[in-house]
Structure formats: C-alpha cells, structure tokens
Structure 1
C-alpha cells in the first residue's frame, strides 16, 4: 500500500514564500524526506500539489479508488474555507492526517479554525516541516498494526 502526500495552494512556493513563517525547505525537499521514510518501511509514496480546489478533491477521490492507504494533507488556506474539501475527506474511507507548518492556532483568527479537523484522523500544527514526517510516521505505524 502507498501513502499520498497532498499539498494545497501556495505550498509550491515553499522556500520562497514567507520563510520567516514557513522556513527555507522547498516542497521537493519535504517530498524527498517523506519518500525516504516510506522507503525505509517498504511503502510507496505519491505526491500531488495543486492551487485548485477541484484538483485536490479529484486527487482525494482517486486515492480512495487506487488502493492508497492514507493521506498526509496540508490543505493550506483551504483548511479554513473549503466545505467541499472537508466533504471529500469525509467521503473516503482513508485516514487523513492534516498537517500545517505553522501553528494555525497561534496565528490570525481566520486561520485558527479548521473545516477539515473533525473528519481527519489527526492534526499536526506548528512543528515546521517535521509535521509531515510525523504525519507519515503515524500512518505508517497504523498501517503496520493492521
């Protein structure tokens, strides 16, 4: 079984966009780190990033149909606004770990509410890009227990 690393809007700009908030690592750096972790556990990894809500929804649906075990998902700003992405996560029978590089609960009030958290297996926020590793590791451990 494979994992999906899914990233929403503006995350393609990591390393360039507000490095004081999001750090200097690029999305490709993060993908390489998660891929190495998955390889250590003989698990495949698919990566997808889009700035478009519908494309993210389509990829969530595809994951449910293609045998993906779970999703590590940084929905970016859609975290706070997208009922459609929330419904897509709720519609699939996959564990989804919501990840945020910054601590969304310690930022502007409009960033503090997650539409997705109630339908996700868990949420990791504020641990920088290590949150991705922790999310992937949580899913790997869950997979290995089943």
Structure 2
C-alpha cells in the first residue's frame, strides 16, 4: 500500500527564498514542494502539500487527514511556540507525525528555541534546511514499514563503493 503523506507548512513559509535567507536559505516553498513530489514519485507515495498563515486552517487540515493520510509532516513555523490548538489536533491524528524545522531551532534566539508542538509528534527534524522535508518523508515511510530501518546487507557493498 502506497504511503499517503500530508505535508503542512505554517505562517510565513510562503515567503521562503525571500524571508531571512541567512536563516532559511533561498529555496522557495514551491521548489521544496517539487522536491517532495519527486521523492514521493520515487517512493511510490502520494503527498498533499499545504501552506497556511491561519492556525484554524492548519487545524482543519490536520483533522481532514483523519482516515485519509498515513502520516503528517508539519512545519508549524511560528505556531510551534504558541499553538495549543495544533497540539490538540495532532494528538487526534493516529498516523505518523513528524515535526520539521528548516533551521536548527535549538541554536536560535530564546524566542525560537522551544517548540511546544514537538510533544505531539513521533520525531523532530531540524537544521537540515530544505533537505529536512526529504528526510522527514523518508522517516515517515520507514515508520510506516515501507522502508527498512537499516541498510540491508545486500546493499553494504554499494554503500562502501560510494565512499571510495
């Protein structure tokens, strides 16, 4: 069964590529979505990709995933630090939940260091830039049992060859 992954993006992420490029880089949200779609195609997964500046809309999207998506990857952005409503909605969703941040929030200013939404997720990925979305997708598919947890022995030779 192909994994169905909902990818949610919170406030101001529609300005990626323009907004504070020294923190978030120059990659746009549209470019991230295209990369996620390309990886989904390789994995045989399907994605739905959303961005909203409104907390209630994000809550509605999480609720709409109930019974329809296997995993949610969420970059709550500014709501990471304030939203009880997102926490409660994420707790309702029974599938895999992964929180994602483009920057390393633990190395940021005090205001951006502690995500309260993390507690409602199985994993948190931060500081990998736009690649974090791909890492989160791979982790979600692995948690759904569609990828091995380690490199299979048959591929060890390939891994070693790649290091030469």
Q: TM-score, normalised by structure 2?
A: 0.85
* Higher radius of gyration, 1 or 2: 2
The CA deviation at 1:96 is 1.1
Could you say which residue in structure 2 is the equivalent of 1:5? 7
Could you say which residue in structure 2 is the equivalent of 1:88? 89
Identify unmatched segments of 5+ residues in structure 1: none
The CA deviation at 1:39 is 0.7
Identify unmatched segments of 5+ residues in structure 2: 148-164
Q: TM-score, normalised by structure 1?
A: 0.95
Runs of 4+ with >2 A deviation:
none
Q: Retained in 1: the 8 A contact 2:10–2:77?
A: yes
Could you say which residue in structure 1 is the equivalent of 2:141? 140
Q: Distance in 2 between matches of 1:115 and 1:63?
A: 21
Q: Distance in 1 between matches of 2:18 and 2:80?
A: 21
The CA deviation at 1:91 is 1.3
Could you say which residue in structure 2 is the equivalent of 1:52? 54
Could you say which residue in structure 2 is the equivalent of 1:40? 42
Could you say which residue in structure 1 is the equivalent of 2:21? 19
Could you say which residue in structure 1 is the equivalent of 2:159? none
The count of corresponding residues between Structure 1 and Structure 2 is 145
- How much is the aligned-residue C-alpha RMSD, in angstroms? 1.3
Larger RCO: 1 or 2 (CA < 8 Å, sep 6+):
1
Give SS of 2:111's match: helix
Q: Distance in 2 between matches of 1:15 and 1:111?
A: 19
